Amino acid sequence: MLNIDSSEIWRTIPPEEKIDLLNRAHSKGIFAASLTILICSTIAVSLKLSWFMWGAFLTSPLIFQFAAGKAWRDLRPRLVLEYLAARSAARRYAFANKSKDLALTMMFRGDFEEVYEDGDPQAALEAAIAGNNQSASWIALFTDAVVVMSEHPGGARCQLASILNDRLEVEGVGKGDSDYSRSREVIITLLPKKDSGLKSGRRFRIRSQHPAALVVFEKRLKSDLEASKQLQLTQLAAPELPPPAEDDFMPMDEDSSMS
């Protein structure tokens, strides 16, 4: 069961983070090979053993492969465990917000902050009290819900959890020419309920060091949100069936039941 969960969560991890993990493993391999060459070259020069230095150069690819493989086998399970723990917490928050499908669509790391309107003194005071308003967070997208949470010593803390409905609006903003620039951000607006009496909703900004994952998140969220809205309209437009009449439940007589 653990292998199934590991392979499933590994497919959920963004490719950019996998590449970063591979680069870290390769850097450890390069460091080990370079250190071996440096030490062996120093010994060869001091003892005047040229073959010892050439032997270090010839064996450096094997040392690189061994060190990089060992680092990969150490780093990969850690990343998988981090995503497994984050998925478990995200599912808990999604279930608490009445999500009907807890199958995780995608998950990635990003920076999450609430955007306050200019000229709002109360919002400015809240931001000043909060100190650092921007925090590193986990962004999880389900079929019918979106969850954003951050890590704290006491465990995960939910920052945003919402069902995909007509109260949710999504907008992608990019300062560069390309959609995959690091300056791109996704704005999520949570509109107030009709009976709440509030005039404006809350706006949140999501950024990420992995722009490709952010673009995929934006497109999937818009697609799932549109599908959820269409499903709600279909359910509202569907006519209600009348309650069954008492004649529909009349018991059969003995003659008709034996025939």
**What is the per-residue pLDDT across 143-167, written as a single tens digit (0 to 9) for each?**
889 999 998 887 888 999 999 888 8
Q: How far apart are CA 190 and CA 165, in angstroms?
A: 10
Question: Any idea which residue has 């850097």 for tokens?
Answer: 27
191: pLDDT strictly greater than 90: no
Average pLDDT over residues 234-241: 64
Average pLDDT over residues 174-186: 76
Those residues whose C-beta lies under 8 Å from the C-beta of residue 123, and which sit 6 or more positions away, are 116, 117
Q: In the Cβ-directed half-sphere of 114, how many Cα atoms lie within 13 Å?
A: 17
Whole-model pTM above 0.85?
Answer: no
pLDDT at 224: 87
pLDDT at 256: 44
179: pLDDT strictly greater than 90: no
C-beta of residue 139 within 8 angstroms of C-beta of residue 83: no
pLDDT at 192: 81
Tokens encoding 176 = 């560069």
State the chain's mean pLDDT as an integer: 82
259: pLDDT strictly greater than 70: no
> Which residues face 136 on adjacent strands?
111
Which helix (H) or strand (E) is 204 found in, with range? strand 202-207
Give me the phi and psi of 112, to 5 degrees please: -125, 135
